[in-house]
A and B are shown apart, each in its own frame.
Chain A
Amino acid sequence: MSPFPRLFKESLGMRFLRGFTHKYLLAVVMIGVAACGLPVDPRHTTDTVRGGTLRAGLVGDQAQMEFDTAQLKSLAQTRQAELHVVKGTTDELIELLSKGELDVVASLPKKTPYRKQVGLTQTFAHPGWPKPRVWAVRSGENEWLIVLNDHLGDSK
């Protein structure tokens, strides 16, 4: 006597559901209206970069760095910011990023072991590269992450 075939025979709580969806829809619309301009960064990276300095860590092989530098330059231009590049090992750069002394680290392999300490952009690939890459931001900077995704998305 399996109850399966009769599972949805009675439209359990449909009336209840209808009553609720109106209220919920209203809430969703209100959230949507309020959502314009959200998310924002808890540590205001997007705001401080705009019209200021874009502090970028650069790591990778030669071809990679050339691509990333060009990307960072155009990003700095769109944000009316000056580009300040720091080179180093991934470890050092991630450390600086976590302390808030860098705004972005470009670029890391997709499966980077640092992925739990930082926020990562969407992956982007290039015909000449062996593996897709990601850029890293300080964890929690969600608005900044969207800015970068937007920029890298356009560059494809």
Chain B
Amino acid sequence: MIAAPHPPEQIENDLVRAERLEWQTIFWVMVSVGAMSAAMGGSQAFKTAWIEDVLSLLAPIFFLLSRHVEKKGETSVFPYGFQRAGTLAFFLSASALCAIGAFLLYEGLQSLVTMKHPTIGSKTIFGHQVWMGWIMIGVLFFSIIPPVILGRAKRKIAKRLHDEVLFVDADTNAADWQTGVASIAGIIGIACGWWWADALMASVISLSILKDGWTALKGSTIHLLDGLPRAVDSGQPDPAVQELISRLEDEYPDYRAQVRATGRYLRARLEPRDSPHLDRETAKRLMSEKSWRLIELARGMRSETDK
């Protein structure tokens, strides 16, 4: 078995830190689900928050799973190793983020269209009737603190690691705390007698979540199609890669440089400009059956002196 690529120590440390952040995320989401179920019982509002929390668990889980397999080296069954596990996780996490946005938008619009007037009851606490809306605000207030902190930390590390899953997860955390703030505003609105406040806030926030989700989904699709590697934050073609391509093409003028990302790693190839694919005769010699499928024969370079 051939070992997986070894990034520099700084990057390794960041990876360990990222894993720890993801475990913390899972922990806090669980705590938040527990606190919310205590405050809201089995209400509809709780159901919505619960579905959202479960969806926001997906990105951390995908990250940890992809990290787990990424560490494995190349095997006979997976001759390229598992570097692209991160790309698959990126696609799935982006889908989850889109699902969160779409779900919130659906719930919000449905409440607005059917003019649902949300009812929040009261409970006797120390002999006083306390409106559960205030309790919910308290719980929501504490539930938005962890995602703010975790999301910020993840975003920074994600850029250094060039880790899209982690970046999408930071977006998911942003979605979490933004929905939390929106819900607080919504409940205050309900208290003021504006039945539409909660649903309207949720719908507005859902649009920004959908936008992030859509950008990520687009980026991961480009990634899966071996498109030009993108910058992790903007989703635009990575300037570092552009530089690499032009440098390679300067040094090897007869060749066309192709760069693709496998997970966080880059693979550059030099293709002869005059013939795009392997010639039929060579292919036939190497493969007796369906030789038309073999279009490329490449030899890896391990140093520049390897010319």
Contact = CB atoms under 8 A, between A and B. Distances in A.
B256 to A, nearest CB: 43
B129 A150 contact: yes
A129 interface: no
A47 to B, nearest CB: 10
Interface string B119-148: 111111000010101100100010001001
A149 to B, nearest CB: 5
A68 B140 CA distance: 37
Given A42-B117, A139-B117, A35 B134 contact: yes
Given A42-B194, A145-B119, A122 B27 contact: no
Contacts of A13: 149, 152-153
B16 interface: yes
A98 B223 CA distance: 53
Contact of B119 (A24, A139, A153): A139
Interface string A35-74: 1001111111000000000000000000000000000000
B118 A140 contact: yes
24 contacts: A6-B20, A8-B24, A12-B21, A12-B24, A12-B153, A13-B152, A13-B153, A16-B149, A16-B152, A20-B145, A28-B141, A39-B131, A39-B192, A40-B193, A42-B193, A119-B119, A120-B119, A122-B124, A139-B119, A140-B117, A141-B119, A142-B119, A145-B122, A149-B121
B129 A4 contact: no
Interface in A102-156: 116, 118-122, 137-142, 145-146, 149-150, 153
A118 B20 CA distance: 45
Contacts of B118: 139-140
B44 to A, nearest CB: 8
Given A13-B153, A149-B121, A31 B193 contact: no
A43 B129 CA distance: 21
Contacts of A35: 134, 191
A140 B198 CA distance: 12
A17 interface: yes
B120 A142 contact: yes
Contacts of B16: 3
Given A3-B20, A16-B149, A28-B141, A149 B194 contact: no
A4 B119 CA distance: 41
A16 B20 CA distance: 18
B195 interface: yes
Interface residues of B, number: 36
A31 B181 CA distance: 13
A41 B193 CA distance: 5
A7 interface: yes
B181 to A, nearest CB: 11
Nearest to B196: A42
Nearest to B22: A3
A153 B123 CA distance: 10
B191 A142 contact: yes
A140 B119 contact: yes
Nearest to B24: A7
Interface string A11-27: 01100110010001000
Nearest to B184: A31
A153 B24 CA distance: 42
B193 A39 contact: yes
B19 A145 contact: no
A24 B141 contact: yes
Contact of B195 (A20, A24, A28, A42): A42
Residue of B27, B120, B193 ringed by the most chain A CB atoms within 10 A? B193
A7 B188 CA distance: 35
Given A120-B119, A146-B131, 7 more contacts: A7-B20, A35-B134, A35-B191, A39-B193, A41-B193, A116-B44, A142-B120
Residue of B24, B131, B150 ringed by the most chain A CB atoms within 10 A? B131
B121 A120 contact: yes
Contacts of A16: 149, 152
A31 B137 contact: yes
B120 A39 contact: yes
A138 B123 CA distance: 18
B190 interface: yes
B218 interface: no
